[in-house]
Structure 1
Amino acid sequence: MRTLTIVVIVQARMLSSRLPGKVMLPLLGKPLLYRMIERIQQAEQPFTTVVATSTDPADDVIEQFCEQEGIAYYRGSLTNLLDRHYQIAERWNADVAVKIPSDCPLIDPRAIDQVLRFFLEHPNEYDFVSNLHPATWPDGNDVEVMSRACLQTAWEKATRPLELEHTTPYIWDTAPEQFRRANVTWPTGLDYSMSHRFTIDYREDYEFIRAVYEALYPTNPRFSCDDILALLANRPELYDINARYAGVNWYRHHLDELNTVTVNQTRHESDNPTHAAQNH
């Protein structure tokens, strides 16, 4: 049986409206993007990692970083991320594409393995498998796996800005009946998707992530999601750094456009999410 070609695509840009240049912020002497790719490559399943950035001049620094570190990259449309993903799948002749956003520097490699393994262990059964629809892992462990044919169908048929910017909504929200989909949940049986925020979009997120790295990385560079939760149990003040943004995600801007997302799956910055200390 032929070995499938798998490409993990990390979408990265410098022009973040809330925290510009976040992917190049330092984490223990290396850019955040480096640390994130380092974690991705701890996954057991073999794959090629490709950074998907844009042709905007602001992203020249990402190209220079990839060249310096020997990381594969592709530069495409600033706003059409669906096209970026499709072009990478074509260029690398991928059978399977894995979408991971660059704002997940605490992603647990086990989450990648869990979703990818489920997809591979059910050959020809699913077009799209994720851990996001609905999510259960702490926010920042985002993994979406799709066949190249699935990605191509979305690329050919998606037209709305929402579908182009966020890559996969055509698959899981606009026309889900066209695809065979599955969702895998966090093996703990818990749902921390709205209570624990391990992603980066605000300065407080960066401070939280930096604190976690400084506490765990020096003695255990392969620290897990469980290790982070144990740290927060011992040092609840770290949880409080960015707790006000728990549950805040891009869905909040598109509730009137999304068919499968409810108001309970997102919050606004002005909301006051319930402190989840009892879950630590």
Structure 2
Amino acid sequence: MINKPNVIAVIGARLNSSRLPGKHLIPLAGKPLIERVVERLETCERVDQIILATTHDAYNEPLIHWGHHLSLPVYAHEGDVNDLMGRIDAVVKLNTPTWIVYVCGDCPLIEPTFIDHALQALQSHPDSDTVHLRDGIQSIHEGLHFYSLKGWEKLIDASKSVMSREHVGYANREKTVLASLAIDDSDDFSMPKHRISVDTMADYQFMSAVYERWYSTHGQNEIVSLKWVQRTLRQEPLLLTINSHVRQKKPNQAYPSVSIFCHYSAAIGLGHLRRCARIAGILQENLGLGTHIHIQGEKIKFPWLSGNVSWHNDEAQLQTAFMTETSALALLDFKIAAVDVDTWKGLLTQQHNNGIRLIALDQLSALHSYVDLAFVPSFYSDIQADNLSCGWENYLLTPVTNRPVTPPYCLVLTGGSDALGFGNYLPDILDKAVPAEYEILWVQGPLAPAPQLADDSRIAVLESVHDLQNLIAGASCVVSSYGLSLFEAITSGAAILLLPSTGIVSTHELLALKAQQVCLVADTDDAIERQLSTITQSAATREALRKSARRYGSKVDGCMRLTQAVESLLQHSPTT
């Protein structure tokens, strides 16, 4: 006779998350997130078997393969992919346990001692179907449900509605059917109360920071201590801010989706794509929305691009994707000189008539008559319209408040593709004009050719920079082309020299920027060397530039302003 396990822990996981697709396989300190969940369950004394419950479809094949590679029992459900209760019930019927622990696969800080504690309480009270924390107890625990077999059977019988099939335990919230035992916590896990599930990129960044800190001083065979996490969060409150803004989705609320359309190339640059990736994260975290980015350009893996993404070979394919769009809202971000404006006017008109809300970003504000909102994430626009929003407050950037203390260095930013070819001649000027006490760091964009350096050049070339804002914040001075990096530098309160910008920015916009006095401006190639000498040799000039940049950077609130605009449009959308 085969011995059936008394307690099974069923991990629910699918790679189809609307806000962070593939999240279960993203790395946490070198191992997939879901493997960190399994490691924690393996330390539980009262769990006899761990089973991964996913769905049988192509999208989740990588998760199934991972489970098999780890020799973890995997159940791939062939029924309705949204029927989570049906998926777990199939696992229960196959294993006939006495007790069931359901574990959300996106919670890599589940506490083993609490799991054992809750199971012991449930096993000691055979008349109870489930457990809950006693009234008044605050706890950091997330992603755990405990049931006796008879309690589970009551719950599955009561799960008739769509919501109760998609969310474990929801049926008991609709109508109480379970006898629930009130228990104390296994320890004091009350402070600080903070989300420890991974639903968005900000959640992942928070969890990565926690895991990296732990494993910098502990061995790989030690699971992250939840008590240590709470102590660390109290000692380093800035960690809390990484994902404190994330809105938790409510199970009884439908969330509309937003589609984002942009392009990139060596000629266009990366600014539109980087900005759209940032917007996707903003909407996922602040509003709980699912986002889908449609990109015209060569498919390349960028470290800052994640989530639901589709690639299109040319503008015609991008236009087709736009016309088949059924999302409640679409946002478009193009270099206007690089698209067929007349065709887009017609497409925007058709989709607006179909009830889709439309936002045009930046240069596309020229099409303000065809959209609901023209949002310009810049201090300047030469267009005036009732539905146009612009100003320093609109920048989609996060100010850096702490300037790290470092040896002096000059940071050079020529853009994602170095579209104006500064790499052909600027290195010689830098080697000549920048004082010897400065290190010179040249950030080579992913689409940019390597700068042409002399054999004895002092310039260090950096590729694949993942933390540009902190690199900017630590620089003694920043030499930048006109674009996103320039305004990241202004927001960070840097002392900046702007390189000649002919063909990138209008004369009126450049004059308006000069009037703000947030950077020195080299109008011509001949002026670069003179201005470099000024900014590197005059501490008073650098401090004056930083002071002015900080004044304008402190106004930045574009993330919240765009969030509010999208929320307002969706509230009045005929499709939501």
Q: Work out whether the TM-score is over 0.5.
A: yes
Shift, 1:228, TM fit = 0.0
Which one of 137, 140, 164 corresponds to residue 138 of structure 1?
Answer: 140
Matches of 1:45 and 1:16, distance apart in 2:
30
Residue-by-residue CA offset, 1:104-131 (whole Å, 9 max, x unaligned): 0111112211211211122x12011244
Q: Is the Cα contact below 8 Å between 2:8 and 2:47 reproduced in 1?
A: no
Q: Which residue of 1 aligns with 2:88?
A: 85
**1:230 aligned to 2:231?**
yes
Letter in 2 for 1:175: K
**1:105 aligned to 2:108?**
yes
Q: Which residue of 2 aligns with 1:31?
A: 32
Matches of 1:134 and 1:201, distance apart in 2:
27
Listed as ranges, the gaps of 5+ residues in structure 1 are 255-267, 272-280
Moved over 4 A (4+): 131-135, 187-193
Letter in 2 for 1:199: S
Q: What aligned pairs does 1:179-198 form with structure 2 within 5 A after superposition?
A: 179-188=178-187, 191=190, 195-198=193-196
**1:269 aligned to 2:286?**
yes
Listed as ranges, the gaps of 5+ residues in structure 2 are 255-284, 289-576
Name the CA shift for 1:116/1:208 in 2 (closer, same or farther; >3 Å).
Answer: same
Matches of 2:199 and 2:129, distance apart in 1:
30
Residue-by-residue CA offset, 1:22-47 (whole Å, 9 max, x unaligned): 00101122110111111121122232
Q: Which residue of 2 aligns with 1:120?
A: 123
Shift, 1:191, TM fit = 4.3
Q: Which residue of 1 aligns with 2:55?
A: 54
Matches of 1:84 and 1:183, distance apart in 2:
28
Aligned length: 251
Q: What aligned pairs does 1:168-207 form with structure 2 within 5 A after superposition?
A: 168-170=169-171, 172-176=172-176, 178-188=177-187, 191=190, 195-207=193-205
* Percent of paired sites with the same residue: 23
**1:250 aligned to 2:253?**
no
Matches of 2:92 and 2:137, distance apart in 1:
25
Shift, 1:252, TM fit = 6.5
Matches of 2:248 and 2:189, distance apart in 1:
19
Name the CA shift for 1:61/1:224 in 2 (closer, same or farther; >3 Å).
Answer: same
Shift, 1:238, TM fit = 1.2
Shift, 1:187, TM fit = 4.6
Which one of 193, 213, 216 corresponds to residue 214 of structure 2?
Answer: 216
Q: Which residue of 1 aligns with 2:160?
A: 159
Shift, 1:151, TM fit = 1.7
| TM-score normalised to structure 1 length | 0.81
Shift, 1:153, TM fit = 2.7
| TM-score normalised to structure 2 length | 0.41
Residue-by-residue CA offset, 1:58-102 (whole Å, 9 max, x unaligned): 111111001000011111131111111111111112111111111
Name the CA shift for 1:149/1:27 in 2 (closer, same or farther; >3 Å).
Answer: same
Q: Is the Cα contact below 8 Å between 2:111 and 2:226 reproduced in 1?
A: yes
Query: Higher relative contact order at CA 8 Å, sep ≥6: structure 1 or structure 2?
Result: 1
Name the CA shift for 1:69/1:22 in 2 (closer, same or farther; >3 Å).
Answer: same
